[in-house]
């Protein structure tokens, strides 16, 4: 390719630049407008080294503590324990700041804004027959505000959101009846916004969902004390999780079918966490190990994009001594209703080392360290080149458009005396990743629909519950324990991203 040819190519003019958030970390207003309680409302704050917790008790009053991602012991329910801080109750208060925040997004030139709908704001218990009109009204106003500025809403139906009632009464997604409740929720949104929303994501990061927190699961084994299995997924829990994700995959396919009947022009995606995996060395066992490890993530996008479980899924299930239970018609549903595009999050890459393989994960994430990469203060390896690789990998595999719906760097920001925030580390991270995306689009010809950075306005970290792990272009005055005014302030990256979008990705500064 000549230099001239390269210069003539660029991002398509309708490329969707923007940012992404999720209700559970951003919205707040947890007891307003008739909203019901979700499991994430019971999750305390944590730190990089201290996992977030959920306090649980049974009818006899015995208490245990579970960590984020774990299943609740059978017979127990989560509760709010006095004296602890629960960051999702206020998030960063989009509920009361949506007009201001959307105006800031518009000022940056956003073409798209990815938001999620809080399930319990629409169906407070999850299994209610009639939706909560007040909750729908809130999102009507948000969507209308976006439309006012010509910003395309990208709506995630389910983003780490589990109505407490569904978890406690049904045992969450392990129970197939949740498919019907989810479909009632999805239908309500599709019908309500059929003329206003084109881009949908049925489920966020379907491959990494787990435990009580996101799937509402109870464990078959009884936990005697807190932290008894910290960081590990017991084999039997992995089985419940995989079965539950199967229910979600079926629900997602049924939602695709329903959505296409409501508006055939909808663009439907399911979202997977697909940060990349490398072999730690060129030793054949590392290379094949990395390949197998990657399949633990790709298995799920294979189902949503190709419409069937791949051949190798059976060997993954064998590792967990798990036998998938399918109902008649499941295979046809998956086959006939694949997604239109693959949405994915990309933050980092990790490396598979045959000598210390991560055997506990079921979602194909976090294989092991890579000595060649620098890390964020939270230890996430920074690898912009990996994004180009993953874009190529996924397009080679599926031949359907891709949408990068999360990317970014969590970091501590310092507010100077004059109120300025010099986040050049964030600009550097995003610039390098956009450059690699640009190469994938322009040189490799990978069709990418858009790019939404994670946490465009600062929000609570899902992984640690901290505020100081910030991703945004807009700073929110709030600390790790909920002190602050919620005041919004523009960071240097705000003005940088404005230029990126204004030049359609040509001026990366």
Residue pair 448/15 in contact by the 8 Å Cβ criterion: yes
289's enclosing H/E stretch is helix 284-306
Query: Using the rule CB under 6 A, which residue among 469, 470, 488, 491 binds ligand BGP?
Result: 469
DSSP per position, 211-272: HHHHH-PEESSPP-STTTTTT---HHHHHHHHHHHHHHHHHHHHHHHHHHHH-TT-EEEEEE
Asked if residue 114 binds ligand BGP (CB under 6 A), the reply is no
Give φ, ψ of 407 to 5 degrees: -165, 145
Give φ, ψ of 56 to 5 degrees: -135, 155
Asked if residue 463 binds ligand BGP (CB under 6 A), the reply is yes
Cα–chain center distance at 41: 17
Give φ, ψ of 489 to 5 degrees: -140, 140
Q: Which residues contact 231 (CB under 8 A, 6 or more apart)?
A: 360
Q: Which is nearer to ligand BGP, 24 or 337 (CB)?
A: 24
Q: Which is nearer to ligand BGP, 22 or 250 (CB)?
A: 22
Query: Using the rule CB under 6 A, which residue among 15, 16, 17, 22 binds ligand BGP?
Result: 22
Q: How many CB atoms lie within 10 A of CB 195?
A: 8
474 strand-pairing partners: 457, 490
Residue pair 107/149 in contact by the 8 Å Cβ criterion: no
Query: Using the rule CB under 6 A, which residue among 90, 188, 204, 366 binds ligand BGP?
Result: 204
Taking the C-alpha atoms of residue 287 and residue 166, their distance in angstroms, rounded to an integer, is 42
Q: Is 406 annotated as catalytic?
A: yes
Q: Which letter does DSSP use for residue 166 in this model?
A: H
Q: Which is nearer to ligand BGP, 410 or 472 (CB)?
A: 410
Site stretch for ligand BGP (CB under 6 A), options 143-151, 254-262, 356-364, 454-462? 454-462
Taking the C-alpha atoms of residue 27 and residue 5, their distance in angstroms, rounded to an integer, is 45
Per-residue contact string for residues 391-420; x = within reach of ligand BGP by CB under 6 A: ---------------x---x----------
Asked if residue 41 binds ligand BGP (CB under 6 A), the reply is no
Asked if residue 491 binds ligand BGP (CB under 6 A), the reply is no
Closest-approach residue to ligand BGP (CB):
463
| Structure-token pair, residue 244 | 């539950």
Q: Which is nearer to ligand BGP, 22 or 303 (CB)?
A: 22
The 10 Å CB-count burial string (b at 16+, else e) for 413-448 is beeeeeeebebebbbebbbbbbbbbbbbbbeeebeb
For the CB of residue 376, give the shortest distance to ligand BGP in the complex, in Å: 9
Asked if residue 205 binds ligand BGP (CB under 6 A), the reply is yes
Q: Which is nearer to ligand BGP, 275 or 370 (CB)?
A: 275
User: Which residue of the set 27, 406, 436, 466 is catalytic?
Assistant: 406
Site stretch for ligand BGP (CB under 6 A), options 9-17, 76-84, 430-438, 460-468? 460-468
For the CB of residue 162, give the shortest distance to ligand BGP in the complex, in Å: 14
Per-residue contact string for residues 249-288; x = within reach of ligand BGP by CB under 6 A: ------------------------x---------------
Q: Which of residues 74-93 bind ligand BGP (CB under 6 A)?
A: none
User: Which residue of the set 27, 70, 205, 436 is catalytic?
Assistant: 205
Closest C-alpha among 220, 249, 206 to residue 322: 220
Q: Is 327 annotated as catalytic?
A: no
Per-residue contact string for residues 142-181; x = within reach of ligand BGP by CB under 6 A: ------------------x---------------------
The catalytic residue positions are 205, 406
Rule CB under 6 A: which residues touch ligand BGP? 22, 25, 160, 204-205, 273, 345, 406, 410, 454, 461-464, 469
């Amino acid at each position: 390719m000549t230099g001239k040819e390269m210069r003539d190519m660029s991002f398509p003019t309708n490329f969707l630049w923007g940012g992404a958030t999720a209700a559970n970390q951003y919205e707040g207003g947890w007891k307003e407008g008739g909203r019901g309680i979700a499991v994430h409302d019971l999750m305390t704050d944590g730190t990089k080294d201290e996992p977030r917790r959920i306090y649980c008790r049974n009818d006899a009053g015995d208490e245990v503590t579970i960590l984020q991602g774990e299943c609740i012991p059978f017979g127990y329910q989560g509760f709010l324990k006095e004296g602890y801080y629960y960051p999702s109750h206020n998030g960063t208060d989009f509920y009361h700041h949506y007009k201001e925040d959307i105006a800031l997004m518009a000022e940056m030139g956003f073409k798209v804004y990815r938001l999620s709908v809080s399930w319990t704001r629409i169906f407070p218990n999850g299994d209610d027959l009639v939706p909560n009109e007040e909750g729908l009204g809130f999102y009507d106003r948000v969507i209308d505000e976006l439309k006012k500025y010509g910003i395309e809403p990208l709506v995630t139906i389910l983003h780490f959101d589990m109505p407490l009632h569904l978890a406690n009464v049904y045992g969450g997604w392990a129970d197939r009846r949740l498919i019907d409740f989810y479909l009632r929720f999805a239908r309500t949104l599709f019908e309500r916004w059929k003329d206003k929303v084109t881009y949908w994501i049925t489920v966020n990061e379907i491959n990494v969902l787990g435990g009580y927190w996101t799937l509402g699961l109870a464990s078959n084994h009884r936990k005697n004390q807190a932290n008894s299995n910290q960081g590990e997924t017991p084999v039997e829990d992995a089985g419940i999780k995989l079965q539950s994700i199967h229910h979600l995959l079926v629900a997602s396919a049924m939602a695709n079918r329903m959505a296409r009947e409501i508006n055939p022009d909808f663009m439907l995606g399911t979202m997977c966490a697909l940060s990349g995996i490398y072999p730690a060395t060129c030793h054949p066992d590392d290379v094949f190990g990395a390949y197998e490890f990657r399949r633990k993530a790709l298995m799920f996008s294979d189902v949503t994009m190709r419409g069937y479980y791949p051949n190798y899924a059976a060997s993954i299930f064998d590792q967990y001594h798990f036998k998938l239970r399918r109902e008649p018609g499941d295979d046809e549903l998956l086959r006939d209703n694949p997604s239109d595009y693959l949405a994915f999050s990309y933050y980092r890459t990790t490396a598979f080392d045959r000598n210390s393989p991560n055997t506990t994960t079921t979602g194909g994430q976090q294989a092991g360290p890579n000595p060649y990469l620098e890390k964020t203060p939270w230890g996430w390896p920074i690898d912009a080149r990996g994004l180009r690789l993953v874009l190529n990998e996924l397009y080679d595999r599926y031949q359907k458009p891709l949408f990068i719906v999360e990317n970014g760097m969590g970091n501590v920001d310092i507010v100077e005396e004059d109120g300025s925030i010099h986040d050049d580390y964030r600009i550097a991270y995003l610039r390098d990743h956009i450059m690699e995306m640009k190469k994938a689009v322009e040189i490799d010809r990978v069709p990418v629909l858009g790019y939404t950075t994670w946490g465009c306005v600062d929000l609570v970290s899902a992984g640690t519950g901290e505020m100081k792990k910030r991703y945004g272009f807009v700073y929110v005055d709030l600390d790790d324990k909920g002190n602050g005014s919620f005041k919004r302030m523009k960071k240097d990256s705000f003005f940088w991203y404005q230029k990126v979008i204004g030049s359609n990705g040509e001026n990366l500064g």
